[in-house]
């Protein structure tokens, strides 16, 4: 061991993960929600060992965006499909199916791996499929080392769905993305914001992918869907529990709570670096904050410690720090309980009012209020997906588009889903449905022209994100009024919570499908 590393170890700034009792009261609090989950219901014990044996993701689908967009006829897809079909990857897919099989959410699997090394097998620690907290365990310095593997799971599920659909197994492809949706909902209950954020996004991406697979089958004339199986998927995506609908209630977003591990982490730091009712302990403050700021980069600890030591004297005292932290989370909690349209939401958050130069012990906590925004989008995606699949089932059975958005009820859905962005959704008695429009039937004097729509896809590459399409006789359009709460008949489309005047939130056809075809037309995808 070099003399430099010896110095790091002596200073207590570098630690090696070992399976010994390391939890303090704060870590126990962060783990309390899942501490009683029996091993037989722990999805982490099924998925992580399988992911440990799986192969690295191919470069052509190195991120989830590429995995969702890449079509089966692309030049790179054959190699990607071979990767997905390998036994190691199929074992992961089997694991995903197993942990989402239970239809009753009260009995369903839970991703319950504790934070830290206590209770985690040596095999998973060696494979770096755990949450590293360091020594002493510091929640604010958490490294969720298993997250790349979880991201690989979603990439694999999308690739496998594309492969199945290309082989004519469209029902299997839809069912697999249903499982990915349910796992995303399961993961959204994790207690760190970064985990809950991933779970919500995975859920929404998978819902759009369900619509994408169904739409591609519809547009290409395959029509390989089994309508009874499609009805089962619609039922399992029902957010409200109904004793007559098997599997309903699993994706219910109203059960979602704000993740609290980041708050517990901040409280742990405050307790560690402050004198009781006094100021910070300069050396402890510098050492702790350097550890938090350089998680995973130990060679920067000494330089960071010097920087933090200089900031110690400008910090608020312990009582003020605790008061401000509680105020931020109480503010978030109050907003989370209110509906999307409540006027209180327009008041500036206490989080943005923090003087970060004086509250360094906790000012790096993430903006947990974004979970509320994701919850709103998930409601749109859930309701929009159910409405779209029900309309598609009606179309297949009757060989014509439904006369209205309510026409598929009760044969294909028990209820007409409400548009969460419509202001009437907040009313107890007004339940406005998603908007439904058939350009060449409902278009009035412009029905011969169809509807021209400018679409801005929410994708990583802004260079190709904006494109224009004209919807005509082959189209039925299902959409939310979107963030501006106004029906613009999809003249402009932006599926975002940010208020965009004159834009709607399009759910059918799926923007993902339209964007992929746009890239094909540009010869970006070949």
pLDDT of residue 448: 77
Whole-number percent of the chain with pLDDT over 90: 78
248 pLDDT band (50/70/90 cuts)?
confident
pLDDT of residue 169: 95
CA atoms 313, 319, 320, 322: torsion sign: positive
CA distances for 444 relative to 29, 359, 440, angstroms: 61, 60, 8
DSSP state of 458: -
Comparing C-alpha atoms, which of 463, 457, 460 is closest to residue 522?
A: 463
pLDDT of residue 307: 76
Averaged over 337-353, what is the pLDDT?
A: 92
Give the model confidence (pLDDT) of 410-440 as tens digits.
Answer: 999 998 999 999 988 666 566 899 999 999 8
φ, ψ at 505 (rounded to 5°): -110, 105
Contacts 24+ apart (CB under 8 A), 325-332: 325/263, 325/266, 325/267, 325/270, 325/359, 325/362, 328/354, 328/365, 329/258, 329/260, 329/263, 329/368, 332/258, 332/368, 332/369, 332/372
Please give the full DSSP string across 390-420, using - where no structure is assigned: HHHHHHHHHTS--SSTTTTTTTT-SSPPB-T
3-state secondary structure of 482: helix
pLDDT of residue 429: 63
In this predicted structure, the answer to whether residue 70 has a pLDDT above a threshold of 50 is yes
CB 456 within 8 A of CB 466: yes
Give the span between the Cα atoms of 237 and 383, in whole angstroms: 9
Torsion of CA 276, 281, 286, 287, to 10 degrees: -80
Enumerate the domain spans of the chain: 3-220, 261-367, 436-526
CB 163 within 8 A of CB 79: no
Averaged over 135-144, what is the pLDDT?
A: 94
Torsion of CA 377, 178, 232, 40, to 10 degrees: -110
Give the span between the Cα atoms of 65 and 371, in whole angstroms: 21
Give the model confidence (pLDDT) of 167-216 as tens digits.
Answer: 999 999 999 999 999 999 999 999 999 999 999 999 999 999 999 999 99
Comparing C-alpha atoms, which of 113, 94, 99, 111 is closest to residue 54?
A: 94
8 pLDDT band (50/70/90 cuts)?
very low
303 pLDDT band (50/70/90 cuts)?
low
CA distance between the termini of the chain: 51
221-230, 356-365, 422-431: lowest mean pLDDT where?
Answer: 422-431
Give the span between the Cα atoms of 173 and 180, in whole angstroms: 11
277 by Cβ neighbours in 10 Å (0-12 / 13-18 / 19+) ranks as exposed
What value does the mean pLDDT of the chain take?
A: 90
CB 266 within 8 A of CB 365: yes
Scan for tokens 């499609």, then name that residue: 230
Peptide bond into 509 cis (omega under 30): yes
Residue 367 has which token pair? 């903006």
Q: Are strands 466-471 and 435-437 parallel, antiparallel or unpaired?
A: unpaired
pLDDT of residue 295: 66
Scan for tokens 């932006």, then name that residue: 494
Give the model confidence (pLDDT) of 469-508 as tens digits.
Answer: 999 877 899 999 999 999 999 999 999 999 999 999 999 9
Residue 58 has which token pair? 């191919």
pLDDT of residue 175: 97
CA 65 to chain centre: 13
290 pLDDT band (50/70/90 cuts)?
confident
Residues 6+ apart with CB under 8 A from 136: 22, 24
Averaged over 292-307, what is the pLDDT?
A: 63
Please give the full DSSP string across 66-114, using - where no structure is assigned: HHHH--TTSTTHHHHHHHHHSHHHHHHHHHHHHHT----TTTS-B--PP
pLDDT of residue 17: 44
Give the span between the Cα atoms of 288 and 150, in whole angstroms: 29
Give the span between the Cα atoms of 152 and 159, in whole angstroms: 10
Count the helices and strands in the chain (H runs, E runs): 19, 8
CA angle 155, 160, 166 (to 5 degrees): 130
Residue 161 has which token pair? 């769905």
Helix axes 170-187, 147-166, angle to 10 degrees: 160
Give the span between the Cα atoms of 386 and 396, in whole angstroms: 15
CA 195 to chain centre: 8
Q: How crowded is residue 358: how many other Cβ atoms within 10 Å of its Cβ? A: 16
pLDDT of residue 32: 96
Give the span between the Cα atoms of 53 and 51, in whole angstroms: 5
pLDDT of residue 299: 46
pLDDT of residue 18: 43
User: Looking at per-residue confidence, does 221 or 2 come out higher?
Assistant: 221
pLDDT of residue 47: 98
Give the model confidence (pLDDT) of 151-164 as tens digits.
Answer: 999 999 999 999 99
Averaged over 35-60, what is the pLDDT?
A: 97
Averaged over 434-450, what is the pLDDT?
A: 84
pLDDT of residue 304: 65
Give the model confidence (pLDDT) of 95-113 as tens digits.
Answer: 999 999 999 999 999 999 9
In this predicted structure, the answer to whether residue 4 has a pLDDT above a threshold of 60 is no
3-state secondary structure of 144: strand
In this predicted structure, the answer to whether residue 454 has a pLDDT above a threshold of 70 is yes
Please give the full DSSP string across 303-355, using - where no structure is assigned: HHHHHHHHHGGGS--HHHHHHHHHHHHHHHHHHHHS-TT-GGGGSPPHHHH--
In this predicted structure, the answer to whether residue 231 has a pLDDT above a threshold of 80 is yes
119-123, 198-202, 322-326, 412-416: lowest mean pLDDT where?
Answer: 412-416
């Amino acid at each position: 061991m070099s003399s430099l590393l010896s110095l790091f170890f002596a200073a207590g700034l570098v630690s090696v993960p070992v399976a010994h009792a390391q939890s303090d009261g704060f870590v126990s609090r962060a783990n309390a929600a899942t501490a009683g989950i029996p091993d037989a219901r722990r999805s982490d014990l099924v998925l992580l060992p399988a992911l440990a044996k799986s192969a690295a993701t191919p470069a052509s689908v190195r991120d989830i965006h590429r995995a969702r967009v890449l079509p089966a006829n692309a030049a790179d897809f054959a190699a990607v499909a071979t990767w997905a079909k390998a036994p190691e990857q199929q074992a992961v897919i089997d694991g995903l199916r197993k942990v989402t099989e239970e239809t009753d959410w009260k009995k369903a699997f839970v991703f319950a791996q504790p934070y830290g090394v206590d209770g985690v097998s040596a095999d998973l620690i060696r494979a770096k499929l755990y949450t590293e907290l360091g020594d002493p365990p510091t929640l604010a310095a958490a490294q969720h080392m298993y997250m790349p593997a979880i991201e690989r799971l979603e990439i694999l599920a999308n690739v496998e769905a594309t492969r199945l659909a290309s082989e004519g197994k469209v029902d299997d492809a839809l069912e697999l993305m249903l499982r990915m949706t349910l796992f995303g909902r399961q993961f959204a209950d994790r207690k760190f914001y970064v985990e809950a954020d991933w779970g919500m996004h995975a859920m929404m991406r998978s819902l759009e992918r369900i619509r994408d697979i169904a739409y591609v089958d519809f547009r290409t004339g395959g029509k390989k869907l089994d309508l009874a199986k499609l009805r089962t998927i619609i039922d399992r995506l029902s957010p409200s529990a109904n004793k007559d609908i098997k599997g309903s209630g699993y994706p219910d977003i109203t059960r979602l709570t704000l993740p609290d591990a980041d708050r517990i982490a901040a409280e742990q730091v405050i307790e560690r670096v402050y004198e009781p009712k006094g100021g910070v302990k300069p050396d402890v403050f510098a050492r702790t904050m350097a550890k938090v700021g350089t998680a995973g980069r130990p060679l920067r600890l000494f330089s960071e410690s010097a920087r933090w030591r200089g900031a110690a004297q400008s910090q608020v005292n312990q009582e003020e720090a605790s008061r401000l932290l509680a105020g931020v989370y109480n503010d978030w909690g109050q907003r989370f309980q209110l509906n999307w349209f409540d006027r209180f939401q327009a008041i500036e958050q206490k989080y943005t009012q923090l003087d970060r130069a004086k509250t360094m012990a906790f000012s790096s906590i993430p903006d947990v209020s974004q979970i509320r925004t994701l919850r709103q989008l998930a409601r749109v995606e859930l309701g929009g997906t159910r409405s779209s699949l029900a309309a598609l089932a009606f179309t297949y059975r009757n060989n014509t588009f439904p006369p209205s958005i309510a026409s598929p009820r009760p044969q294909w859905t028990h209820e007409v889903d409400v548009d969460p962005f419509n202001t009437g959704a907040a009313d107890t008695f007004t339940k406005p449905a998603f908007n439904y429009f058939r350009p060449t039937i409902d278009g009035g004097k412009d029905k011969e022209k169809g509807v021209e729509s400018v679409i801005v896809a929410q994708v990583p590459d802004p260079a190709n994100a904006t494109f224009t399409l004209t919807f005509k006789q082959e189209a039925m359009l299902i959409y939310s009024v979107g963030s501006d709460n106004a029906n613009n008949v999809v003249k402009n489309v932006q599926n975002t919570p940010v208020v965009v005047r004159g834009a709607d939130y399009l759910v059918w056809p799926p923007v993902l499908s339209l964007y992929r075809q746009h890239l094909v037309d540009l010869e970006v995808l070949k």
